[in-house]
Structure 1
Amino acid sequence: MSNLRDLYQEVILDHNKNPRNYGVLEPHTHAADGHNPLCGDQLHVQLNLSQAGTIEAIQFTGDGCAISKASASIMTDSLQGLTIAEAQELMAQFQTLVTDMSKEPDPKLGKLAVLAGVREYPMRVKCATLPWHTFHAAIQGDVEVSTE
């Protein structure tokens, strides 16, 4: 099990040091800012939705801890090409992944499963879910969201 945890930590550190889809997305159809006052995480998520409601592009900028940055990086990879309904379902699955200790990670979550260990540290759950709440705020037309 130690080797699996080591692998998960490596993936998280890689996404933190080399975040995917990091940068400003211009033009964009939706955007929101997210803040986690307890940890100091600040993210800005921008995305383009097609007329059919498919996520054509999604990017983020901001500063935060390794967990929030890795979560944003993996989230943006995972949401590319999904419909809003599919993205919301994935968000619900992710929320369960990082909060429900009784369930094993669903293999269908792919790289998102590396963040399952966050549930052992309740203070870090807000770090992992901040990008998702920011994405959700953007598609709802909200400008800002906070974990507090």
Structure 2
Amino acid sequence: MSLNNLDQLYRQVIMDHYKNPRNRGEMDQENKLVVNMNNPTCGDRIQLQLQVEDEKITDAKFTGEGCSISQSSASMMTDAIKGLPVKDALHMSEIFSDMVQGKDYDEEDLELGDVEALQGVCKFPARIKCATLAWKAMEKALNEQKH
């Protein structure tokens, strides 16, 4: 597949997650982890809710508003981490951060699925914070839970 076709495919995946977000909404469960984060430079905001049982993420939902990158990233992330052990979700976040910053990452290490569509963000440094907002919220929630 040519690079141009791949970029077009990735744009379609991003817009699909933006227009048809997965896991948008609020959880009813008690004992959920809730983190609110925002990106003051562009106005993106997110509230992430996670349900963790036996060191595994059993559910993930988000609400918020912002650009297509931040909102589609939240949709992709919540889809990708559901069912994962906490340590794997945190590891995936590290890989994602490296990917959107244009750093080398091990593609074989974890299956990223739709999340890989955001790898082009590295070409637009101002958008990296948009792409990583939901991921930083997930890291904060899981790290606060440990304490």
TM-score where L is the length of structure 1: 0.89
The separation in 2 between residues aligned to 1:5 and 1:105, in whole angstroms, is 20
Quick one: which amino acid aligns to residue 113 of structure 2?
A: G
Q: State which of 74, 82, 95 in structure 2 corresponds to 1:80.
A: 82
Give the direction of change, closer, same or farther, for the CA distance of 1:47–1:132 in structure 2 (3 Å limit): same
Mean alpha-carbon deviation: is it higher for 105-114 or for 55-64?
Answer: 105-114
Structure 1 counterpart of 2:12, from 10, 27, 44: 10
Given that 1:21 and 1:73 are in contact with CA atoms closer than 8 Å, whether structure 2 keeps it comes out as yes
Query: Which residue type is aligned with residue 91 of structure 1?
Result: S
Give ranges in structure 1 of 5+ residues lacking alignment: 143-148
The answer to whether the 8 A contact 2:47-2:62 is kept is yes
2:22 maps to amino acid = R
- 1:43 and 1:105 map into 2 onto residues whose CA distance is 28
Partner letter of residue 59 of structure 2?
Answer: A
Report the residue type matching 1:135 in the other structure: M
CA RMSD after TM alignment: 1.5
Match of 1:22 in 2: 24
Aligned length: 140
Deviation track 1:78-135 (CA, whole Å, cap 9, x = no partner) reads: 000011101111000001110125x377263221110000000000000000000011
The letter of the residue matching 1:128 is: A
Q: State, as a whole percentage, how many aligned pairs show the same letter.
A: 39
Which string of whole-angstrom CA distances, capped at 9 and with x for unpartnered residues, describes residues 40-68 of structure 1?
A: 00000001111x11000000000010000
5+ residue gaps in structure 2?
none
2-structure distance, mates of 1:105, 1:111: 16
List aligned pairs for 1:1-148, cutoff 5 A: 1-28=3-30, 29-50=32-53, 52-101=54-103, 103=104, 106=107, 108-141=111-144
Q: Deviations over 1:5-48 (max 9, x none)?
A: 11100110010011000000111520100100111000000011
| Helix, strand or coil at the partner of 1:141 | helix
Query: If the length of structure 2 is used for normalisation, what is the TM-score?
Result: 0.90
